[in-house]
Amino acid sequence: MSRWGVLVLLALSEGTLRWGELRREVDGISEKMLASTLRTLEADGIVVRTSYPEVPPRVEYSLSPLGEELMQRMLPLVGWVAEHAEGIVEQQA
Amino acid sequence: MSRWGVLVLLALSEGTLRWGELRREVDGISEKMLASTLRTLEADGIVVRTSYPEVPPRVEYSLSPLGEELMQRMLPLVGWVAEHAEGIVEQQA
DNA sequence: CCGTATCCTTGAAGATACTG
DNA sequence: CAGTATCTTCAAGGATACGG
pLDDT, mean over chain A: 93
Q: Are the C-beta atoms of residues A4 and A25 closer than 8 Å to each other? A: no
Distance of alpha carbon B8 from alpha carbon B5, whole angstroms:
5
Residue B37 pLDDT exceeds 90:
yes
Residue B24 pLDDT exceeds 90:
yes
- CATH classification of A3-92 is 3.30.9.10, yes or no? no
Backbone angles phi, psi at B85, to 5 degrees: -55, -45
The residues pairing with A49 across neighbouring beta strands, listed in sequence order, are A61
CA distance A24 to chain B (A): 26
How confident is the model at residue A59, as a pLDDT? 97
How confident is the model at residue A28, as a pLDDT? 93
Contact A73 B69 (CB under 8 A): no
A31-85 per-position pLDDT tens digit? 999 999 999 999 999 999 999 999 899 999 999 999 999 999 999 999 999 999 8
Contact B80 A73 (CB under 8 A): yes
Q: Are the C-beta atoms of residues A51 and B48 closer than 8 Å to each other? A: no
How confident is the model at residue B92, as a pLDDT? 65
Mean pLDDT value across residues B17-42: 96
Which of chain B's residues have a Cβ under 8 Å away from the Cβ of A84?
A: 66, 70
Distance of alpha carbon B11 from alpha carbon B21, whole angstroms:
9
CA distance A36 to chain B (A): 15
Residue B32 pLDDT exceeds 60:
yes
How confident is the model at residue B47, as a pLDDT? 97
Q: What is the pTM of this model?
A: 0.92
How confident is the model at residue B15, as a pLDDT? 97
